């Protein structure tokens, strides 16, 4: 598959701050690239550059066959952008917002109107469509913003943190919508701070930090690098820790680590989630080992960062301790 | 050519959007409605009772100055509107669209002509009530209104640049006062400029706000017979001089603000 978005060596600095430090990326046609990173990693800068909002200091890129620097107008004709901050006019109604965007894509009066109605329907905003956006909830605004990016049915979409700040239900609604979009063959670049979001939506994940790529692969690849799921068991009596270790060994997919006061907490890498946890607990119980605390952990972005960069997601952490 | 037409279309779409806001947030009109009334009444009754213009009523002299001042103040609206769009991120949306790069500003300055027209109407009515009259026929009066709107339109482009440069709406208001106060007060708006001390007098005579005011007074017929001809060239040819400024302001500030718009991003 040809690459629809291709960037090489993008750099950008704002005064002292290096926002992008030689970023390369490629998104194949009809696929979703998840750009994953903490706040300040350079995600928004990357999107701003690829959508022609900001000129890079260095590097080259093509988007949907148009050169970013030499043909920014062509790029704009072929993309849709939905930003982190819902960029809709709150004094206009949902319909007026979409109609305006259609007109500005120069669709003509009637096609713009028809498209606006169609999108309101698709995004479940028909009832709210003739109310000013000011009255919308956060989730509704995001949906409208996303609809705005789709007005001209562009072949390439950029979604900058589409669900940041949303409640879990609205987040799920948006995920469903985005999954549908991708099903229709759009090429999508999505930024997110959440590993589970990237996992859910992206075919390929690019982890960035300090403006450069630090890891790339499928969600499974990334999780593999991070270490996957694990059970943390704290035994009630420290002298049973060794026994517990041998009981849990058959469930482990890797080395069992131990920490905590007198090594009473065992960290067991597993696959299979809760059912495996249940079996493990049964086994411990069967051998009469008392358990004081137990936890099933999935890798979070924090874990990913710790594993990939050696620092946590807080800007310049290093204060990580157990 | 088709691109030019399309750009005009984009500008109209933006202007329409701005005008919808007047309807949805009528409170914004309060400033537009109240301040002209306030200015007319305040100057007419406070200063009007103290300042004496030989052979004329000060109130009649005053109206041209108040008109000029108020429309220059009105340009703050342009700056505030653009600053708000920047703050809310909608400029980013516009900049990601394949639309004309000047349309957002051109649409804004165009829709603000409506604000200024409303404000001029209100001021005229108020002025009429306090004794101001049109003495030179309707066509000339219309020419005066047109000139005022044209100058206001040009000045909107100055404030557009300010609006795109500052970080928030509040700053626009403060920043614009620094420009607008000297411009509207060191002029013949409220007092005849011949009485001003040396350098201020020169500034006032060449100040385009003075020429707008002078032109307005002449066209309305608010200059009493027997008033000596002004010495300064701009005030002898106020309409021409004002038009020169209109062209010059747009020629300078339209490219500057468009350039600024291209680079403006929310960070």
- Token code pair at residue A167: 């409640």
- Mean pLDDT, to the nearest integer, of B230-244? 92
Contacts of A146 in chain B (CB under 8 A): none
CB burial class (10 A; 0-12, 13-18, 19+) of residue B130? Answer: middle
DSSP structure class, residue B229: P
C-alpha A137 chain-centroid distance: 22
Residue B228, pLDDT > 90, answer: no
C-alpha A275 chain-centroid distance: 27
CA count, 13 A, side-chain hemisphere, A83? 22
Number of DSSP helices (H) and strands (E) in chain A, helices first: 11, 14
Residue B66, pLDDT > 80, answer: yes
* pLDDT for A316: 40
Phi/psi at B66 (5° precision): -65, -40
- DSSP alpha helices (H): ranges in chain A? 43-50, 72-78, 94-104, 109-122, 138-150, 168-183, 195-201, 219-226, 241-248, 274-286, 301-309
- Token code pair at residue B31: 């400033």
Give the C-alpha distances (Å, rounded to integers) separating B168 from B50, B159, B175, B177, B266. 40, 13, 11, 15, 11
- Mean pLDDT, to the nearest integer, of B204-209? 92
Q: How far apart are CA A129 and CA A97, in angstroms?
A: 9
B245, B10, B14: which is closest to B150 by C-alpha? B245
The tens digit of pLDDT for each residue in A16-30 reads 889 999 999 999 999
The 10 Å CB-count burial string (b at 16+, else e) for B165-180 is bbeebebbeebbeebb
The tens digit of pLDDT for each residue in A220-257 reads 787 777 667 888 899 888 888 888 888 988 888 888 88
In three-state secondary structure terms, A60 is: strand
- The answer to whether B242 and B71 have CB atoms below 8 angstroms apart is no
Chain B's closest residue to A158, CA to CA, is B96
- Mean pLDDT, to the nearest integer, of A141-161? 92
Describe chain B by its helix, strand, coil percentages, rounded to 5.
80, 0, 20
Is residue B12 within a helix (H) or strand (E), and if so which, with residue range? Answer: helix B2-24
Candidates A49, A81, A89, partner chain B, best to mutate (most B CBs within 10 A) = A89
B-contacting residues of A 70-99, CB under 8 Å? Answer: 73, 76-77, 79, 81, 83, 85-92, 96
* pLDDT for B2: 82
Q: How far apart are CA B179 and CA B78, in angstroms?
A: 14
Residue A7, pLDDT > 70, answer: yes
The tens digit of pLDDT for each residue in A166-184 reads 888 888 888 888 888 888 8
Which of A14, A87, A91 lies closest to B24 in CB terms?
A91
DSSP B113-179: HHHHHHHHHHHHHHHHHTT----S-HHHHHHHHHHHHHHHHHHHHHHHHHHHHSSSHHHHHHHHHHH
CA torsion sign, A214 to A219 to A224 to A227? positive
At residue A83 the predicted structure's pLDDT band, cuts being 50, 70 and 90, is confident
The 10 Å CB-count burial string (b at 16+, else e) for A286-302 is eeebeeeeeeeeebebb
- Mean pLDDT, to the nearest integer, of A79-90? 84
DSSP structure class, residue A129: T
At residue B56 the predicted structure's pLDDT band, cuts being 50, 70 and 90, is low
- The answer to whether A37 and A58 have CB atoms below 8 angstroms apart is no
Mean pLDDT estimate for chain A: 86
The tens digit of pLDDT for each residue in B86-118 reads 888 888 899 999 999 899 999 999 999 998 999
- The answer to whether A202 and A190 have CB atoms below 8 angstroms apart is yes
CA count, 13 A, side-chain hemisphere, A279? 13
Touching check for A106 and chain B: CB below 8 Å? Answer: yes
Q: How far apart are CA B183 and CA B158, in angstroms?
A: 13
The tens digit of pLDDT for each residue in B138-162 reads 999 999 999 999 999 999 999 999 9
ipTM confidence score: 0.86
Chain B's closest residue to A76, CA to CA, is B98
The tens digit of pLDDT for each residue in A305-322 reads 677 766 665 544 333 333
* pLDDT for A317: 34
Give the C-alpha distances (Å, rounded to integers) separating B73 from A109, A184, B216. 35, 52, 17
Contacts of B21 in chain A (CB under 8 A): 89, 91-92
Chain B's closest residue to A52, CA to CA, is B96
Touching check for B99 and chain A: CB below 8 Å? Answer: yes
Q: Which domains does chain A have, with CATH numbers?
A: 3-224 (3.40.50.300), 229-297 (3.30.70.1150)
DSSP structure class, residue B45: I
A298, A285, A161: which is closest to A220 by C-alpha? A298
Order of all β-strands in the sheet with A187-192 = A79-82, A156-160, A187-192, A32-36, A204-209, A212-217
At residue B132 the predicted structure's pLDDT band, cuts being 50, 70 and 90, is confident
CA B73-B79-B84 angle, to 5 degrees, is 130
Which of A79, A85, A105 lies closest to B89 in CB terms?
A85
pLDDT more than 90, % of chain A: 45
Q: What is the dihedral of CA B88, B89, B91, B97, to 10 degrees?
A: -140
- Mean pLDDT, to the nearest integer, of A106-121? 94
* pLDDT for A151: 93
Q: How far apart are CA A223 and CA B257, in angstroms?
A: 48
């Amino acid at each position: 598959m040809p690459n629809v978005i291709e960037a090489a060596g993008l750099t950008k600095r704002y005064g002292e701050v290096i926002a992008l430090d030689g970023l390369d990326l490629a998104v194949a046609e009809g696929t979703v690239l998840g750009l994953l990173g903490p706040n300040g990693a350079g995600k928004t800068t990357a999107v701003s550059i690829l959508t022609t909002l900001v000129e890079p200091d260095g590097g080259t890129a093509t988007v949907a066959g148009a050169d970013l620097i030499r043909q920014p107008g062509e790029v704009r004709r072929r993309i849709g952008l939905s930003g982190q901050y819902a960029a809709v006019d709150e004094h206009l109604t949902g319909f007026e917002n979409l109609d305006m965007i259609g007109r500005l894509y120069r669709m003509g009066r009637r096609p713009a109107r028809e498209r606006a109605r169609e999108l309101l329907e698709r995004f479940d905003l028909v009832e709210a469509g003739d109310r000013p956006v000011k009255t919308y909830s956060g989730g509704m605004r995001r949906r409208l913003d996303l609809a705005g990016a789709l007005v001209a049915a562009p072949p390439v979409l950029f979604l900058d943190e589409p669900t940041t700040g949303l409640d879990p239900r609205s987040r799920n609604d948006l995920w469903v919508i985005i999954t549908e979009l991708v099903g229709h063959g759009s090429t999508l670049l999505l930024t997110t701070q959440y590993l589970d979001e990237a996992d859910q939506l992206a075919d390929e994940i690019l982890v960035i930090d300090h403006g450069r790529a630090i890891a790339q692969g499928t969600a499974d690849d990334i999780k593999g690098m991070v270490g996957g799921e694990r059970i943390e068991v704290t035994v009630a009596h420290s002298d049973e820790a060794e026994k517990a270790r041998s009981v849990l060994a058959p469930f482990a997919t890797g080395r069992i680590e131990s920490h905590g006061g007198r090594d009473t907490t065992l960290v067991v890498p597993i696959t299979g989630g809760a059912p495996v946890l249940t079996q493990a607990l049964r086994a411990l119980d069967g051998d009469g080992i008392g358990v004081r605390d137990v936890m099933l952990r999935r890798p979070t972005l924090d874990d990913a960062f710790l594993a990939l960069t050696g620092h946590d997601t807080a800007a310049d952490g290093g204060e990580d301790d157990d | 050519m088709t691109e030019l037409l399309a750009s005009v279309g984009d500008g109209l779409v933006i202007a329409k959007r701005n005008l919808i806001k007047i309807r949805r947030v009528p409170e914004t009109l309060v400033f537009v409605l109240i301040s002209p009334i306030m200015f007319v009444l305040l100057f007419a009754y406070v200063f009007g009772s103290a300042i004496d213009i030989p052979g004329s009523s000060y109130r009649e002299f005053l109206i041209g100055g108040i008109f000029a001042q108020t429309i220059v103040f009105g340009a703050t609206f342009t700056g505030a509107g653009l600053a708000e769009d920047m703050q809310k991120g909608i400029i980013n949306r516009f900049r990601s669209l394949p639309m004309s790069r000047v349309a957002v500003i051109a649409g804004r300055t165009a829709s603000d002509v409506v604000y200024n027209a409303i404000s001029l109407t209100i001021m005229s009515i108020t002025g009429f009530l306090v004794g101001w009259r049109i003495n030179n026929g309707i066509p000339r009066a219309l020419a005066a209104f047109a000139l005022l709107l044209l100058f206001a339109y040009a000045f909107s482009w100055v404030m557009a640049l300010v609006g795109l440069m500052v970080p928030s709406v509040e700053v626009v208001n403060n920043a614009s006062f620094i420009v607008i106060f000297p411009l509207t007060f060191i002029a013949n708006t409220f007092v005849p400029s011949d009485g001003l001390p040396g350098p201020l007098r020169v500034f006032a005579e060449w100040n385009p706000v003075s020429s707008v005011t002078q032109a307005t007074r002449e066209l309305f017929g608010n200059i009493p017979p027997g008033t000596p001809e002004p010495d300064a060239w701009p005030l002898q040819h106020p309409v021409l001089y004002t038009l020169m400024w209109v062209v010059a302001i747009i020629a300078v500030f339209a490219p500057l603000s468009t350039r600024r718009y291209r680079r403006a991003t929310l960070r």
